[in-house]
Amino acid sequence: MLRPVKAGDEGRLLEIFSDPTIARWWGAPNKAVADTINEEEGEDHYLIDLDGQTVGMIQSYEETDSMYRHAGIDIAIREAWQGKGLAADAIRTLARYLIDERGHHRLTIDPAAHNVNAIKAYENVGFKPVGRMRQYERGPDGTWHDGLLMDMLAEELRD
């Protein structure tokens, strides 16, 4: 189940972003929590709950300029629930909402090019690699790494 992040979720978010398999990509847990709680315009953040446990967070952002209208997604799943299909299910759920309810025809994702687990989850939903962005993002260790730009058209979403 996806539910919007709200005030009071800081402890759950800190648990998510303190997971070493997530902090590796997202950086300082306290900063990630603050960024999630303090949404920027066009962003939405959701907790991923399974059987009463918070297993991750997924977010979207929307570009509303009519010439470039699209939405993007990013996700963080705690290690104990990785590799079980939960990420793909959450991505699919949010993608369906962004397409059917928000009217987007195209979605984008930009994982680190060496984040194999994330790329696999995105591909399982229908995202395709469209380009490598060299030295795209500075990692928590201070080094630059490549990003993989992926996108999916509405009709490519896999159920």
Predicted confidence at residue 140, as pLDDT, reads 85
Q: Give the number of other CB atoms < 10 A from CB of residue 127.
A: 26
> In degrees, to the nearest 5, what angle opens at C-alpha 79 toward C-alphas 30 and 58?
60
Q: 148 and 137 in contact (C-beta within 8 Å)?
A: no
Predicted confidence at residue 158, as pLDDT, reads 95
Instruction: Say which residues have a Cβ less than 8 Å from residue 26's Cβ, sequence separation at least 6.
Output: 17, 32, 76, 140
Q: Are strands 70-77 and 106-109 parallel, antiparallel or unpaired?
A: parallel
How far apart CA 141 and CA 158 sit, in angstroms, is 35
Residue labelled with tokens 């229908």:
126
Predicted confidence at residue 159, as pLDDT, reads 87
Query: Which residue segment(s) compose the domain that 90 sits in?
Result: 2-156
> DSSP secondary-structure letter at 39?
P
Local confidence pLDDT in tens for the 159 residues of the chain: 999 999 999 999 999 999 999 999 999 999 999 999 998 999 999 999 999 999 999 999 999 899 999 999 999 999 999 999 999 999 999 999 999 999 999 999 999 999 999 999 999 999 999 999 999 999 888 999 999 999 999 999 998
Predicted confidence at residue 141, as pLDDT, reads 86
How far apart CA 113 and CA 4 sit, in angstroms, is 28
- Our count of domains for the chain comes to 1
Residue 19's CATH number: 3.40.630.30
